[in-house]
A = this chain, B = another copy of it.
Amino acid sequence: MTGIVEFWFDFSSPYGYFASHRIDAIAETAGRTAVWKPFMLGATFQLTGARPLSTVPLKGSYSLHDWDRLGRYYGVPWTLPDPFPIATLAAARVYYWLAERDAAAAKRFAKACFHAYFGEGQTIEPMDAVAAIAESLGISGDEAAAAARAPEWKAALKTVGEKAVSKGVCGSPFVIVDGEGFWGDDRLVMVAEWLLRGGW
């Protein structure tokens, strides 16, 4: 099989964070490349009627416990940030601005955003926090901030959200392989198997 592995996520999604540590290796094992596609999960929530998981009775306390447990299970740093969840427009817009110039730099930036937020518990909502992450990677913070404010990248992110909905992306993370969608961090095992077996 050929083609990319689409990795859809929201920077404010814990399950997206956990999946981000494994998706590249899973794609590469199958000779594929994972293309990261941050989007605003809130747009999906408007359609599905979902609310942020941590605010839902029963599911909220379950997920808080589950995230701690997954951090230990996967051996990745995990902190519940405060505030949580947040709108991650700035990070996502900067990501797409970078991706157009340098896909590898964009992915490094995305990983740094995820690590800052869920690994270290530092908010990535304000523009200056996102600019500081860009600076730490040798990217101009001023240019990053300008991109996050530019109508062009605001429109680009909006289009990404519409694309997500049109492709049936119903949560974060959501992986698409040859048109086949898999929702949830715990489905990455199945994604790997689908890639190796060529489906079933």
Which A positions have Cβ atoms within 8 angstroms of B?
44, 47-49, 51, 56-59, 61-62, 65-66, 69, 72-73, 165, 168-171, 180-181, 183-184, 186-187, 189-190, 200
- Closest B-chain residue to A164, C-beta based? B58
- Closest B-chain residue to A65, C-beta based? B181
CB pair A56–B62 under 8 Å, yes or no, is no
Number of this chain's copies in the complex: 2
Task: Please give, as numbers and ranges, the residues of chain B lying within 8 Å of A56 by CB-CB distance.
Answer: 48-49
Given contacts A47-B57, A49-B51, A56-B49, contact A62 B183 (CB under 8 A): yes
CB pair A59–B51 under 8 Å, yes or no, is no
Separation in Å of the A108 CB from the closest CB of chain B?
30
CB pair A62–B184 under 8 Å, yes or no, is no
CB pair A187–B186 under 8 Å, yes or no, is yes
Query: What are 7 inter-chain pairs, A to B, with CB distance below 8 A?
Result: A47-B57, A48-B59, A49-B56, A49-B57, A58-B168, A62-B170, A184-B184
CB pair B168–A62 under 8 Å, yes or no, is yes
Task: Please give, as numbers and ranges, the residues of chain B lying within 8 Å of A169 by CB-CB distance.
Answer: 58
Task: Please give, as numbers and ranges, the residues of chain B lying within 8 Å of A181 by CB-CB distance.
Answer: 62, 65
Task: Please give, as numbers and ranges, the residues of chain B lying within 8 Å of A165 by CB-CB distance.
Answer: 58
Task: Please give, as numbers and ranges, the residues of chain B lying within 8 Å of A57 by CB-CB distance.
Answer: 47-49
Separation in Å of the A193 CB from the closest CB of chain B?
8
Q: How far is the CA of A72 from the CA of B200 in the complex (A)?
A: 7
Q: How far is the CA of A189 from the CA of B168 in the complex (A)?
A: 26
